[in-house]
């Protein structure tokens, strides 16, 4: 490599701009003085350069393509990167060659008009050094461009071959360091004493020099007086996108750094939970669908519990051809809209040592869906009621309702003798006491509220739970849960959703710590959040259960729930939320509120700010195409109906027995035939 002259950064810029002031492109080295032969006529110069051109590779029509492929293959072989990055190597190199005029067509004829001939002579003078030192310039260009691109690409994580999600390449590198490296390398080309070498990036260097001047808010005259006011990229306070455009705008490097590259989040990071925040209509459901589609493309997809209160997403998933092929035995559908809704029993939750605590948590979930919190007295009652319900054979929610209205002679209380002494004392001295009547009445009223929906009653009146969450978790089932607000109503839908979340959590606890990730995916999750959210998030992570949820109501969450969500989610994906939410999220995502609120939606895709702990140094702009799930192959309709039939047979509740009205009573005799018993005093 040629020796560099000891010039400072500012002096280099000043010298470059001084040369351009003479209308000479940065460092032309006065090519006519260096290469022109003494007393050579324009005709002689034309013939001499024409001979050089024919001997050069410039004469080969395939020269440019071969050169780009050669450099691109060198970079690809060294980095082994995949995806769109490799596809843009050749395009970037092609653009750099074009910008620096390192390929051209030699004039086919010599001009005869004196004025045109003088202009042509200037053109010949400008291309002469490229012909004379073709090999030197080409070799230096190749080494330098490979050095720069490798410097960028070595910063990238391993990229997938394909992914539905994309981010700009610069989102995955240290932008400030990268821009500083590119600018420093190109600008220092002017310090080479070998003038032929300095021609390799002549025009790119020119563009960067003027970019630096504008970014430093200096004129050429001000630069001469105050060269110390030059602001290198490493000292700029501009945000990443603006920094790239400020210093590399007008060069192929800016486009290269903005290349969309496939982006996927390593599966193990989902164990630390993920949250999607965005206003209605920005594409939260499309984001969940894209992530689910990505999981289903994996060789061994994780087990998934997917809750959706609208049902549209679930209907798209169940039609996928993969469930008629490789994943045929892994799909479970729990849909109250089915003719045979799932048969569920509230009290068949688990058999582990933590059974009581899990049952109590499940009851809290059930009642919180109707009211915000159980009172202290109700909470005490629930603890002992759970114990009794466990020992009553085939107990259901209706059994619990009957118990709330039972008197001291009720058959249900006969099972109290099976319990420990403290529990027996509660039922003997507290449960039937007058002071407990309001509590029992309140609980009964709440149960009447949710049991008012006949489908809900049919689901939860089953004497056995035909769906086993623990088995589903162990066998990595994809469980589609339609909580159907339209069919069940808001209250019953909320209870059903909380029941399934608690079932999934209880199964994870009973399974114990696992290296096999399972996911609980919840759309419109805010209706399931309460004071226990933090415990759920922290406990689930220990048992290999990751939560992936979407919500638009971040602003309406209680402060403790917001804190739990922010502190316990490693993956945060945010659309243009309100200003206060954007300010709060910006601190957690290492970005600005303006960046989060700048995310936009087009007809074909939507943007989200995405931060992944231990993967992205700051939030990046994530592009998510619409219709990812809709574009996947689907199974034939008859196969889907057969799959639904088998699913209903396995998990569905049988239809209730038809109601037989009692036989009509015998007609009353005429009033005149009814004897009238008179009082003695009448």
Give the pLDDT band (50/70/90) at residue 681.
very low
Whether pLDDT at 270 is above 80: yes
Q: Please report the pLDDT score of residue 34 as a whole number.
A: 46
Three-class SS string for 449-482? HHHCCHHHHHHHCCCCCCCCHHHHHHCCCEEEEE
Cα–Cα distance measured from residue 473 to residue 219, given in angstroms and rounded to the nearest whole number: 67
| Six token digits for residue 199 | 């021609």
| Digit-coded pLDDT (tens) for 49-66 | 889 888 887 777 676 667
- Side-chain half-sphere exposure of 675, counting CA atoms within 13 A: 3
| Digit-coded pLDDT (tens) for 466-490 | 898 889 999 999 999 999 988 888 8
Q: Are 626 and 604 in contact (CB under 8 A)?
A: yes
Q: Please report the pLDDT score of residue 600 as a whole number.
A: 93
| Digit-coded pLDDT (tens) for 576-600 | 998 888 998 999 999 999 999 999 9
Give the pLDDT band (50/70/90) at residue 658.
low
Give the pLDDT band (50/70/90) at residue 358.
low
Cα–Cα distance measured from residue 69 to residue 675, given in angstroms and rounded to the nearest whole number: 115
| Digit-coded pLDDT (tens) for 499-517 | 888 888 888 888 877 778 8
Whether pLDDT at 573 is above 90: yes
What value does the mean pLDDT of the chain take? 81
| Digit-coded pLDDT (tens) for 615-647 | 888 899 999 999 999 999 999 999 999 999 999
| pTM of the predicted model as reported, rounded to 2 decimal places | 0.79
Whether pLDDT at 31 is above 60: no
Q: Please report the pLDDT score of residue 521 as a whole number.
A: 95
The mean pLDDT of 564-578, rounded to a whole number, is 90
Q: Please report the pLDDT score of residue 663 as a whole number.
A: 58
Tokens 């007086």 locate to: 225
Whether pLDDT at 20 is above 50: no
Q: Please report the pLDDT score of residue 393 as a whole number.
A: 87
Torsion of CA 496, 500, 501, 503, to 10 degrees: 140
More confident position, 352 or 449: 449
Whether pLDDT at 120 is above 80: yes
Torsion of CA 445, 505, 399, 459, to 10 degrees: 90
Q: Which range has highest mean pLDDT (86-100, 352-366, 527-541)?
A: 86-100
Which residue in 486, 389, 501, 378 sits closest to 438, CA to CA? 378
Q: Sheet of 605-612: strands edge to edge?
A: 260-262, 166-168, 620-625, 605-612, 571-574, 274-277, 545-551, 518-522, 303-308, 478-482, 331-334
- Residues 6 or more apart whose CB falls under 8 angstroms from that of 79 comprise 150, 153, 154, 156
Residue 185's φ and ψ, nearest 5 degrees, are -65, -45
| Digit-coded pLDDT (tens) for 205-261 | 889 988 998 999 988 888 878 878 888 888 899 988 899 999 999 999 999 999 888
Whether pLDDT at 359 is above 70: no
Which residue in 629, 619, 624 sits closest to 601, CA to CA? 624
Q: Please report the pLDDT score of residue 638 as a whole number.
A: 95
Q: Please report the pLDDT score of residue 256 as a whole number.
A: 92
More confident position, 463 or 191: 463
Q: Please report the pLDDT score of residue 608 as a whole number.
A: 96
């Amino acid at each position: 490599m040629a020796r560099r002259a000891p010039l400072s950064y500012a002096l280099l810029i000043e010298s470059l701009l001084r040369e351009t002031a003479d209308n000479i492109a940065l460092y032309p080295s006065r090519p006519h003085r260096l290469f022109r032969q003494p007393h050579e006529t324009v005709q002689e110069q034309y013939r001499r350069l024409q001979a050089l051109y024919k001997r050069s590779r410039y004469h080969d029509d395939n020269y440019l393509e071969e050169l780009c492929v050669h450099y691109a293959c060198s970079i690809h072989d060294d980095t082994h990167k995949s995806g769109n990055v490799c596809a843009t190597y050749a395009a970037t190199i092609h653009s750099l060659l074009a910008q620096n005029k390192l390929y051209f067509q030699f004039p086919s004829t010599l001009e005869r008009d004196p004025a045109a001939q003088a202009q042509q002579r200037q053109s010949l003078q400008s291309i002469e050094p490229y012909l004379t030192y073709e090999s030197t310039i080409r070799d230096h260009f190749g080494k330098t461009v490979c050095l720069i691109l490798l410097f960028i690409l070595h910063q990238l994580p391993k990229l997938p071959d394909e992914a539905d999600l994309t981010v700009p390449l610069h989102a995955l590198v240290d932008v400030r360091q990268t821009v500083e490296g590119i600018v420093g390398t190109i600008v220092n080309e002017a310090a080479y004493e070998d003038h032929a070498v300095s021609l390799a990036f002549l025009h790119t260097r020119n563009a960067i020099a003027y970019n630096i001047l504008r970014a430093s808010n200096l004129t050429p005259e001000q630069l001469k007086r105050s060269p110390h006011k030059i602001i290198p990229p490493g000292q700029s306070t501009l945000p990443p996108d603006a920094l790239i455009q400020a210093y590399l705008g007008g060069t192929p490097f800016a486009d290269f750094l903005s290349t969309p590259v496939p982006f996927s989040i390593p599966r193990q990071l989902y164990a630390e939970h993920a949250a999607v925040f965005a206003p209605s209509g920005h594409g939260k459901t499309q984001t969940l669908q894209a992530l689910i589609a990505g999981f289903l493309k994996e060789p061994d997809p994780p087990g998934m519990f997917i809750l959706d209160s609208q049902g549209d997403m679930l209907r798209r998933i169940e039609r996928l051809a993969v469930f008629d092929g490789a994943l045929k035995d892994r799909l479970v559908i729990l849909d109250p809209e089915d003719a045979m809704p799932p048969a569920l029993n509230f009290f068949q939750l688990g058999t582990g040592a933590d059974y009581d605590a899990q049952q109590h948590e499940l009851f809290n979930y059930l009642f919180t869906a109707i009211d915000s919190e159980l009172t202290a007295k109700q909470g005490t009652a629930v603890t002992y009621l759970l114990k009794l319900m466990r020992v009553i054979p085939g107990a259901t929610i209706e059994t619990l309702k009957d118990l709330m209205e039972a008197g001291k002679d009720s058959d249900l209380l006969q099972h109290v003798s099976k319990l420990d002494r403290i529990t027996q004392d509660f039922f003997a001295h507290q449960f039937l006491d007058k002071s407990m009547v309001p509590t029992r009445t309140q609980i009964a009223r709440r149960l009447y509220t949710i049991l008012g929906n006949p489908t809900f009653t049919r689901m939860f009146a089953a004497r056995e739970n035909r769906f086993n969450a623990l088995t589903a978790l162990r066998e990595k089932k994809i469980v589609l849960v339609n909580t159907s607000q339209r069919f069940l109503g808001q209250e019953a839908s909320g209870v059903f959703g909380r029941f399934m979340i608690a079932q999934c959590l209880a199964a994870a606890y009973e399974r114990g710590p696992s290296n096999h990730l399972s996911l609980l995916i919840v759309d419109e999750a805010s209706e399931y959040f309460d004071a226990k959210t933090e415990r759920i998030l922290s406990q689930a992570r220990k048992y290999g259960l990751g939560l992936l949820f979407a919500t638009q109501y971040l602003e309406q969450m209680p402060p403790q729930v917001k804190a739990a969500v922010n502190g316990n989610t490693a993956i945060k994906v945010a659309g243009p939320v309100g200003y206060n939410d954007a300010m709060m999220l910006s601190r957690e995502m290492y970005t600005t509120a303006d960046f989060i609120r700048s995310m936009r939606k087009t007809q074909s895709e939507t943007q989200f700010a995405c931060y992944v702990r231990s993967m992205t140094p700051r939030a990046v702009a994530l592009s998510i195409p619409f219709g990812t799930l809709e574009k996947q192959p689907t199974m034939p309709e008859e196969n889907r109906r057969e799959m639904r039939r088998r699913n209903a047979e396995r998990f569905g509740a049988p239809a209730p027995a038809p109601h037989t009205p009692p036989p009509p009573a015998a007609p009353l005799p005429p009033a005149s035939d009814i004897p009238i018993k008179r009082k003695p005093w009448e």
